[in-house]
Structures are given as C-alpha cells and as structure tokens.
C-alpha cells in the first residue's frame, strides 16, 4: 500500500517543523547582524568578571564601545544608556567587591564565596533579558545592522584576537591560581597590553602615548570627582538620619512577605540618592533581621540588595555610572535618562524575578556546596 505523504498529518507536521526551523534560522541571522548591541552586553559581562565595578566598566569600555555604536548608526543616547545599564552586570558577576562589603556588614564572612557565586546567575539573566529587549526593539525601530564578514576574513580575525584575549587569561589565571592580587594582575595586564599594542600588533605608535595618557587622566579625573561628590551627598543623607527614618515604618509590614519585600525594594532605590557602599553599610544591619524574620536567607537578600543598588548606579540624581557614561559619550543626562526607560524596565523586571525566585540566587551556591 502506498501512502501519499502530502495528504497525511505527519507530512503537515514535518512541514510545520521545517517552517519553524527556517524562521528561527532567519531570526538568528538577523540577531548576528545586530552585533554591537549584543557585543556591548557580552563585553560588559566579561569586564564585570574582571573588575566587579560598574563605574570602571563605563569609563573604560564606554570610551571604546560608545563611539563604535555611534559609527554603526545607533543614536548617541541609546549607545550611552545601553553601556551604562549593561555595566551594572559587573556589580553582580563575581568577583564583586560589593558582595564582600555586604558580607562584612552582615557579619557573614564565611558566606563570601556563596554570595559571589550567588550573583552570577542574576547577572547573566540580566544580560539575557537585555538581549531579548534588543531583539524586540530591533523589529520595532529598525536598528542598524553590521555588514556581513567574509568567510576568508573570519580566521584572520580570530587569530588576531588571541593575543588581546590573553589579557583575560593573565588576570583571571593570576588571581585564580593565587599568583598575584587583583591590583598586581591589572598592572601586569597593562604592561602586556602596552607591549602587544605598540610592538607586536603595532596598532598605535609611541608618539600617540602622550595623548593616550592625557585622555586616561581626563577620564580618571571625571570619575574621581563624581565619586567624591556622591560620597559627600551620602554623608549628608547619613548625617540627617534619612535612611533610619524611612526604616521606621517597616515594622507593621512584617506580616505580609510580598508587600514587605516590595517596600524594601522601593526603599533600596535610595541608591538613586546615595552612593552604593554607604547604603550597604547602613541598610544591611537594619534590614537583614527584618527579611530573615520572613524566611529570606542572607545570600538571597544580599544578591537582591546589590542588584537593587546597582539600579541606582544608572539613575539620576546620583547615579555615578550614568554621570560617567554621559561624560564619556558627551550626552546630556536629562535626555539620555528618558531614552533609557525601556532599559530601566528590564532591570526592574529582572530584579523582581530575583526577589521572588530565591533559586536564582541560592541555586548555584547550594549546588556547589557553599550553603
């Protein structure tokens, strides 16, 4: 008996699967062409794995990625806003010095490894959610696309990238194997970079060194000035007992876990008005007993708190990462902040996921036997 596959349900099913696969391949191809937005996310994720600082990410990578995005055709405000918000991944992805600071404030030094690894999944999740947003926005706003790279050039590009990528090996290998401290690893990486840039790859001439140093000092001066101003404002807030006054209303909310956590999230958005380190030191001893009374672990609360304060780094009026990004990208803060609203929405949604799904923060440390 001969069966006509064209008339069977199986044939229709196979045709449907083939159509879906074809569409997925087209989407992936389009995804690959929208390269700069995704490179921004991934580079911030990788740099965060080295520095743990959002401000360092914006000031260093921003000077490279923002001009590249502008050249490709992205708007100035989107380029700066994207760089600022993706830099907040560095606060979550280990090694995060803010996690260590929280552990010391919580008198939980033994949980430092669990806290460091607890921020890894939320940090990566934030990057994935950003990529999903860009994929949707690309369809709506017709984002600029890169030119397709010829196959014969791909091998050359990969070979040329090996030496620069060794910087990550030097830093992470040196720290991971205990051969050097983070500061020493950074110094070694700087010397290595100097050698390959000026003598191996020769992408710059020695005559350009004075201008490079001048631009580096200029950026460093902007960053240090902003940090000093933020710390002065933080001192004023602390001196006026504003955080303690806001905490006083929490006692009546302890019976409703969801409402309590939502209120704490709103309160921790004081990161918009104060620097991150003082808020960690001030809020941790006050809020930790409250959340523990409703069953939240020290690690879960620590990741939630650092994530929340990371949002404050890219929001006015005292968002240091936002100020640095606008200084590097030469855009006004008011206009850039308005264009960052979709990016803020993604951060808030991811924050709520981390707040109400403990497994995102505690799953990996538990699997590794750290909790």
| Block residue for tokens 């199986």 | 10
pLDDT of residue 142: 67
pTM beyond 0.85: the answer is no
- pLDDT, tens digit (0-9, with 9 covering 90-100), for 62-93: 888 888 888 877 888 888 888 888 888 888 88
pLDDT of residue 324: 85
pLDDT of residue 179: 80
183: alpha, beta or left? (left if phi > 0; alpha if psi -120 to 50): alpha
H-helix or E-strand spanning residue 245: helix 242-247
User: What is the rounded distance in angstroms from the CA atom of residue 361 to the CA atom of residue 30?
Assistant: 32
Higher pLDDT, 170 or 123: 123
Q: Which of 45-54, 108-117, 122-131, 293-302 has the lowest mean pLDDT?
A: 45-54
Q: Which of 27-31, 272-276, 354-358 has the lowest mean pLDDT?
A: 27-31
Higher pLDDT, 188 or 281: 188
User: What is the rounded distance in angstroms from the CA atom of residue 54 to the CA atom of residue 41?
Assistant: 13
pLDDT of residue 7: 46
Mean pLDDT of 297-307: 92
pLDDT of residue 36: 75
Q: Are 361 and 121 in contact (CB under 8 A)?
A: yes
Higher pLDDT, 37 or 274: 37
- What size, in residues, is the chain? 371
Evaluate if residue 238 carries a pLDDT over 60.
yes
Determine the distance from the C-alpha atom of residue 137 to the mean position of all C-alpha atoms in its chain, rounded to a whole number: 19
User: What is the rounded distance in angstroms from the CA atom of residue 219 to the CA atom of residue 225?
Assistant: 10
pLDDT of residue 258: 84
Average pLDDT, the chain: 76
- pLDDT, tens digit (0-9, with 9 covering 90-100), for 326-356: 888 888 888 888 888 888 899 999 999 999 9
Mean pLDDT of 21-46: 60
Higher pLDDT, 2 or 218: 218
pLDDT of residue 32: 42
pLDDT of residue 4: 44
| Confidence at 182, pLDDT banded by 50, 70, 90 | low
pLDDT of residue 33: 44
- pLDDT, tens digit (0-9, with 9 covering 90-100), for 106-128: 878 778 788 888 888 998 999 89
Q: Are 22 and 54 in contact (CB under 8 A)?
A: no
pLDDT of residue 22: 43
Evaluate if residue 304 carries a pLDDT over 90.
yes
pLDDT of residue 237: 65
Evaluate if residue 21 carries a pLDDT over 70.
no
| Confidence at 223, pLDDT banded by 50, 70, 90 | low
């Amino acid at each position: 008996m001969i069966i006509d596959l064209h008339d069977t349900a199986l044939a229709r099913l196979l045709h449907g699967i083939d159509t879906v696969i074809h569409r997925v391949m087209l989407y992936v191809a389009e995804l690959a062409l929208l390269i700069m937005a995704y490179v921004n996310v991934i580079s911030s994720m990788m740099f965060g794995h080295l520095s743990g600082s959002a401000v360092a990410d914006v000031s260093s990578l921003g000077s490279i990625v923002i001009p590249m995005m502008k050249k490709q055709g992205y708007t100035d405000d989107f380029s700066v806003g994207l760089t600022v918000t993706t830099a907040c991944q560095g606060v979550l992805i280990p090694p995060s010095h803010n996690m260590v600071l929280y552990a010391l404030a919580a008198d939980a030094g033994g949980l430092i490894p669990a806290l460091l690894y607890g921020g890894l999944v939320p940090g990566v999740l934030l990057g994935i959610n950003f990529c999903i947003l860009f994929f949707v926005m690309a369809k709506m706003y017709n984002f600029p696309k890169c030119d397709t790279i010829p196959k014969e050039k791909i091998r050359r590009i990969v070979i040329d990238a090996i030496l620069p990528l060794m910087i990550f090996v030097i830093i992470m290998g040196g720290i991971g194997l205990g051969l050097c401290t983070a500061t020493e690893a950074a110094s070694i990486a700087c010397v290595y970079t100097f050698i390959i840039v000026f003598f191996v790859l020769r992408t710059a001439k020695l005559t350009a060194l004075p201008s490079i140093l001048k631009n580096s000092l200029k950026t460093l001066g902007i960053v240090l000035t902003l940090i000093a101003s933020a710390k002065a404002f933080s001192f004023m807030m602390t001196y006026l007992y504003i955080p303690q006054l806001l905490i006083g209303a929490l006692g009546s909310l302890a019976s409703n876990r969801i409402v309590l956590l939502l209120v704490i999230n709103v309160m921790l958005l004081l990161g918009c008005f104060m620097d991150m380190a003082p808020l960690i030191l001030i809020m941790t001893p006050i809020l930790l007993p409250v959340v523990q009374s409703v069953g939240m672990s020290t690690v879960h609360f620590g990741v939630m708190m650092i994530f929340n304060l990371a949002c404050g780094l890219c929001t006015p009026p005292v968002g240091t990462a936002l100020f640095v990004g606008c200084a590097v990208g030469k855009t006004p803060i008011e206009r850039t902040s308005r264009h960052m609203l979709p990016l803020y929405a993604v951060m808030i949604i991811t924050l709520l996921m981390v707040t109400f799904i403990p497994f995102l923060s505690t799953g990996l440390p538990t699997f590794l036997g750290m909790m």
